[in-house]
Amino acid sequence: MIRFLVTKIALLIPTFVGVTLLTFAMIRLIPGDPILLLAGERGIDPDRYAELRTQYGFDKPLLIQYGNYIVDVLQGDLGRSIVTKKPVLTEFLTLFPATIELSLCAMIFAVLVGLPVGIIAGVRRGTIWDHSVMGVSLTGYSMPIFWWGLLLIILFSVNLGWTPVSGRISLLYYFDSVTGFMLIDSLLSGQEGAFRSAVSHLILPSIVLGTIPLAVIARMTRSSMLEVLNEDYVRTARAKGLPPVRVIGLHALRNALIPVVTVIGLQVGVLLAGAILTETIFSWPGIGKWLIESVHRRDYPALQGGILLVAIVVMLVNLSVDLLYGLINPRIRHRR
Amino acid sequence: MKRRLLGAAVISTLALGMAFSAEAKTLVYCSEGSPEGFNPQLFTAGTTFDASSVPVYDRLVEFVRGGTEIEPGLAESWEISDDGLTYTFHLRDGVKFHSTENFTPTRELNADDVIFSFERQWKEDHPYHDVSGGSYEYFASMGMPDLIKAIEKVDDHTVRFMLNAPNAPFLADMAMDFASIMSAEYAEAMMDAGTPEQVDLQPIGTGPFQLVAYQKDAVIRYRANPDYWQGKAAIDDLVFAITPDASVRYAKLRAGECHVMPYPNPADVEAMKDNPNLTVMEQEGLNVGYLAFNTEKEPFTDKRVRQALNMAINRDAIIEAVYQGAGTKAKNPIPPTMWSYNEDVEDYPYDPERAKQLLAEAGYADGFQTDLWAMPVQRPYNPNAERMAEMVQADWREVGVNAEIVTYEWGEYLERSVNGEHQTVLLGWTGDNGDPDNFLYVLLGCDAAQDGANRARWCHEPFDDLIVQARQISDQDKRAELYEEAQIIFKEEAPWVTVAHSVVFMPMRKEVTGYKVSPFGKHDFYGVDLQE
């Protein structure tokens, strides 16, 4: 098990180098100059322009810029945003809890709905249940997030008035952020109704962000279930006269879950990508919106730092999924 | 059951909201983005000004609410010397700065605060110059470092600015955001505490609202300043709910989650006007969208060609298709809300036949090839440059001129057009200080032709003489005469096609009263009230 762990962690190093190199190079490949963009139509004096380039280190050769960047990163310094002039790490840390909160809720929604629906479709293969689950999930998978989000807002928030349009909590509630997670902070604040307000603000964005993972999980569970149900041991279990609930719930499901767990892990990356759009629609103060804005303004330090941190999070999640996978499936951790 | 629960939750939230608004009047503004920071000296974005200089700070002089005229601010009066080189400001008595948890002011506003506010930006050896990144782009781009010769404290309530050259727009510049007055005492206290950057994060001003809290990308909260020198604001609390998407802002406005929103989608404006709960205010923005001919390049050196291409474009069709009603046809380079706007200037008609004739006279009966640059971004003065370019291209083809549409990434577009690489280019301008000089000198003067901001690279002496003279005298009536004359020359020489001035829409809930649309595109909530 330890050897398995060490190999997995060692593999992170080349990934880390790859991510820094890619983000650094790609941002600079997009045409656009952060200083000129900030100046806009007003323009900037050539001397002042040169001065600012020196200040940000853009006047040095790319290789040296990259070298300096890596040295700084290894010391934990991600630089300062060109736009706000604040440390990138500080900005990331103030925004990231909102993204985690939303992603977690979206994932819980996707799993809670996706798994049972997938199981039903698998067990009742070929029935109307199966067909409708597959049809609906295909629609969900192909739904453009932006359109889907606005549709839900107009229906539930504007016309029916059941849920708030956007934001994390009603503006009536005002308390200091302790953990950055609104669900926890609202409970800690002790203000009546704050928690309920936070939950109601989470409903629509979680559904929108969770729709694609839900579809993927449902389809994956179904096919995995179908495969397992044809295995010999399931037939044996049935032949032994075990009740169907036990056969499906214990023998089949446990094995069927293995590929599903991997898929759930992979969906974390999808969630973070989807968060960019979802956060913009629901005015959710997370990192997705922040990254998009950094791209528009060519805010190199913010973009490099932000993507690197997100990549690290995705890598860690995948690592834990690998480890979890090893726990569920002994064949993997004992493979020589 | 679940549905009923949810419904109950919503109803109770609403009830709570009503109780809340009965106690304190809270106005919620769905702003379009986060401010870059809270010091208007350091940044140039409208979101920053809306969040800092407008609610929190005051200036020596101010723009009249909803206008471009200058009125007294922190300076109750001022004198300008006859040679236009010395400006003496007399400060108002009894102006109080905000108090916060970290800082309680011990004195009222005085000359030291004014000097601190300018010297921080101006003097590189000022202890605050390098704090928070230390770049003062607006101060620099308005030419202040070269213009200011000295700033003197005459007594506690009198400050004198000495200039290197007479510059009439200087007074208007003093009403701009970068000229906001900050507390020297607060700055000193924070420097002593070793946290100078607090001055920029936790602003203390003399303005109508005081910053309470800011959560990036989520919300900004202000409280009305009870001691404001013009009297406390009618609302008690001001909240900015940051909402970047225009459709979502509209949804929030309809659902009553905010009272005022900026920048609606033009396509939504009709529906907004029909909604009985909403009012839509509108005003022409202080901007112009134009097409500039590079007058240094053939065939645009010939005025007849420029006039012909003016007449070849059907601007009414462009206004309808590109601006979707959110624009008015422009005939002068300055917008109609600006003083000295010349009503009598005669615009070029849409007349392709006459255009062909003029081209033939100039020796281009068979037309010619040109490029036509279209901006890659949406701007207040031009919501869709590519579409506009396509329409111009089609119109010009009718008179035999073949235009190839060219575009670059925005930063590159600006830089290349400064260098004059284009033949014809679409661009625009939004006014900074409401002075005609800020359009005519900055965009069309000979100095600007040299440094490239004059995209037509047009240096025409009779015109330049007028606008240079106008910036040196301080009598506004005389200046207006000069500018009116300059606009006639401009039209005759046709270095631009003046396309449009955009119209700014401000949708708000019916209960909002007293709002005034700022021609500068700022959003000011002092003087605004909520009707029960």
Interface of B with A in 144-183 (CB under 8 A): none
* Interchain CB distance below 8 Å, A283 and B241: yes
Positive or negative CA dihedral for A258, A263, A269, A275?
Answer: negative
Phi-psi region of B287 (alpha: psi -120 to 50; beta: other; left: phi over 0): beta
Residues B304, B359 contacting (CB under 8 angstroms): yes
Chain A, nearest residue to B135 by Cα: A52
Phi-psi region of B107 (alpha: psi -120 to 50; beta: other; left: phi over 0): beta
pLDDT in tens, A273-302: 888 889 988 989 999 888 888 888 889 999
* Number of domain units in chain A: 2
B360 CB contacts (<8 Å, ≥6 apart)? Answer: none
Q: Are residues A247 and A306 in the same domain?
A: yes
A45 to chain B, any CB pair closer than 8 A? The answer is yes
Q: Are residues A46 and A140 in the same domain?
A: no
* Interchain CB distance below 8 Å, A171 and B219: yes
B406 to chain A, any CB pair closer than 8 A? The answer is no
Q: What span, in angstroms and rounded, lies between the C-alpha atoms of A179 and A170?
A: 18
Specify if A199 maps to a domain.
no
Interface of A with B in 106-135 (CB under 8 A): none
* Interchain CB distance below 8 Å, A167 and B219: yes
Interface of A with B in 297-316 (CB under 8 A): 298
Find which of A49, A55, A85 to mutate to test the B interface (most B CBs within 10 Å of its CB).
A85
Three-state SS for B452?
coil
* Interchain CB distance below 8 Å, B248 and A42: no
For residue A289, give how far its alpha carbon lies from the nearest alpha carbon of chain B (Å): 8
H or E, element range at B61: strand B61-63
CA B348 to chain centre: 28
Burial A173-207, CB ≥16 within 10 A → b, else e:
bbeebeebbbbbbbebbeeebbbbbbbbbbbbbbb
Specify if A185 maps to a domain.
no
Q: What span, in angstroms and rounded, lies between the C-alpha atoms of B78 and B157?
A: 12
* Interchain CB distance below 8 Å, A163 and B6: yes
A151 to chain B, any CB pair closer than 8 A? The answer is no
Residue among B3, B10, B411 whose CB faces A161 most closely? B10
Phi-psi region of A190 (alpha: psi -120 to 50; beta: other; left: phi over 0): left
Question: Which residue blocks in B293-401 are alpha helix, DSSP H?
Answer: 303-312, 315-318, 352-361, 385-398
Interface of A with B in 21-40 (CB under 8 A): 30-34, 36-40
For residue A204, give how far its alpha carbon lies from the nearest alpha carbon of chain B (Å): 13
Q: Are residues A104 and A68 in the same domain?
A: no
How many Cα atoms are found within 13 Å in the side-chain-facing hemisphere of A177? Answer: 18
Q: Are residues A69 and A96 in the same domain?
A: no
Residue among B7, B247, B453 whose CB faces A162 most closely? B7
What is the model's pLDDT at position B4? 40
Residues A198, A168 contacting (CB under 8 angstroms): yes
Three-state SS for A95?
helix
What is the model's pLDDT at position B15? 39
B256 to chain A, any CB pair closer than 8 A? The answer is no
Q: Are residues A236 and A295 in the same domain?
A: yes
- Angle, helix A287-297 to helix A88-123, in steps of 10 degrees: 120
Q: What are the angstrom distances between the C-alpha of A250 and each of A70, A229, B410?
A: 49, 12, 60
List CB contacts (< 8 A) between A283 and chain B: 217-218, 241-245, 248
Specify if A196 maps to a domain.
no
Specify if A165 maps to a domain.
no
List CB contacts (< 8 A) between A31 and chain B: 408-409, 411-412
* Interchain CB distance below 8 Å, A36 and B414: yes
For residue B73, give how far its alpha carbon lies from the nearest alpha carbon of chain A (Å): 26
Taking alpha carbons only, the member of B175, B40, B192 closest to residue B120 is B40
Q: What predicted TM-score, i.e. pTM, was given to this entire model?
A: 0.86
Give the DSSP letter of residue B266: G
B114 CB contacts (<8 Å, ≥6 apart)? Answer: B60, B74, B89, B91, B151, B159, B181
Find which of B23, B32, B137 to mutate to test the A interface (most A CBs within 10 Å of its CB).
B137
Which tokens sit at B53?
Answer: 């200089």
Residues A44, B137 contacting (CB under 8 angstroms): yes
Q: What are the angstrom distances between the C-alpha of A283 and each of A202, A237, A260, B244, B385?
A: 12, 52, 31, 6, 28
Angle at Cα A241 formed by Cα A238 and Cα A245, nearest 5°? 65
A282 CB contacts (<8 Å, ≥6 apart)? Answer: A149, A166, A167, A204, A205, A208, B248
Which tokens sit at A25?
Answer: 């190079």
Chain A, nearest residue to B418 by Cα: A43
Q: What span, in angstroms and rounded, lies between the C-alpha atoms of B470 and A243?
A: 96
Total residue count of chain B as it appears in this document: 532
**Please, what is the end-to-end C-alpha distance for chain B in angstroms?**
34
Chain A, nearest residue to B131 by Cα: A85
Specify if A157 maps to a domain.
no
Taking alpha carbons only, the member of B372, B236, B242, B238 closest to residue B309 is B372
Which tokens sit at B299?
Answer: 């065939």
B223 to chain A, any CB pair closer than 8 A? The answer is no
Q: Are residues A34 and A141 in the same domain?
A: no
pLDDT in tens, chain B (532 residues): 334 434 444 444 443 444 344 468 999 999 999 999 999 999 988 899 999 999 999 999 999 998 888 999 999 999 999 999 999 999 999 999 999 888 999 999 999 999 999 999 999 999 999 998 888 988 988 889 999 999 999 999 999 999 999 999 999 999 999 999 999 999 999 999 999 999 999 999 999 999 999 998 899 999 999 999 999 999 999 999 999 889 999 999 999 999 999 999 888 999 999 999 999 999 888 999 999 999 999 999 999 999 999 999 999 999 999 998 889 999 999 999 899 999 999 999 999 999 999 999 999 999 999 999 999 988 889 989 999 999 999 999 999 999 999 999 888 899 899 999 999 999 999 988 899 999 999 999 999 998 888 999 999 999 999 999 999 998 889 999 999 999 999 999 999 999 999 998 999 999 999 999 998 989 999 999 998 7
CATH number at residue A135: 1.10.3720.10
Q: What span, in angstroms and rounded, lies between the C-alpha atoms of A109 and A116?
A: 12
* Interchain CB distance below 8 Å, A153 and B248: yes
Q: What span, in angstroms and rounded, lies between the C-alpha atoms of B384 and B377?
A: 8
For residue A162, give how far its alpha carbon lies from the nearest alpha carbon of chain B (Å): 6
Residues A189, A173 contacting (CB under 8 angstroms): yes
Q: What span, in angstroms and rounded, lies between the C-alpha atoms of B290 and B140?
A: 25
Specify if A11 maps to a domain.
no
B141 to chain A, any CB pair closer than 8 A? The answer is yes
List CB contacts (< 8 A) between B429 and chain A: 41
* Interchain CB distance below 8 Å, B248 and A283: yes
Residues B151, B115 contacting (CB under 8 angstroms): yes
Which tokens sit at A109?
Answer: 């929604």
Q: Are residues A239 and A282 in the same domain?
A: yes
Which residues form the domain of A230?
92-145+209-333
Q: Are residues A237 and A310 in the same domain?
A: yes
Residues A214, A142 contacting (CB under 8 angstroms): no
For B287, list phi and psi in degrees, rounded to 5.
-150, 170
Residue among A165, A280, A282 whose CB faces B257 most closely? A165
Three-state SS for B37?
coil
* Interchain CB distance below 8 Å, B255 and A44: no
Taking alpha carbons only, the member of B341, B123, B132, B104 closest to residue B210 is B104
Q: What is the ipTM of this complex?
A: 0.83
DSSP secondary structure string, B274-287?
Answer: H-TTEEEEEEE-SE
For residue A142, give how far its alpha carbon lies from the nearest alpha carbon of chain B (Å): 22
Taking alpha carbons only, the member of A91, A103, A101, A105 closest to residue A309 is A91
Q: What span, in angstroms and rounded, lies between the C-alpha atoms of A157 and B461?
A: 61
Specify if A231 maps to a domain.
yes
Which tokens sit at A76?
Answer: 């934990």
Q: What span, in angstroms and rounded, lies between the C-alpha atoms of A64 and A45?
A: 26
For residue A15, give how far its alpha carbon lies from the nearest alpha carbon of chain B (Å): 31
Q: What span, in angstroms and rounded, lies between the C-alpha atoms of B87 and B81?
A: 7
Q: Are residues A52 and A140 in the same domain?
A: no
Specify if A59 maps to a domain.
yes
pLDDT in tens, A228-274: 888 888 888 888 888 888 888 778 888 888 888 888 888 887 888 88
Residue among A34, A161, A166 whose CB faces B248 most closely? A166
Q: Are residues A137 and A237 in the same domain?
A: yes
* Interchain CB distance below 8 Å, B219 and A45: no
B417 CB contacts (<8 Å, ≥6 apart)? Answer: B373, B425, B427, B452, B455
Residue among B215, B412, B451 whose CB faces A32 most closely? B412
Q: Are residues A243 and A318 in the same domain?
A: yes
Q: Are residues A231 and A129 in the same domain?
A: yes
What is the model's pLDDT at position A333? 60
Low-confidence residues in chain A, pLDDT < 70: 1, 330-336
A84 to chain B, any CB pair closer than 8 A? The answer is yes
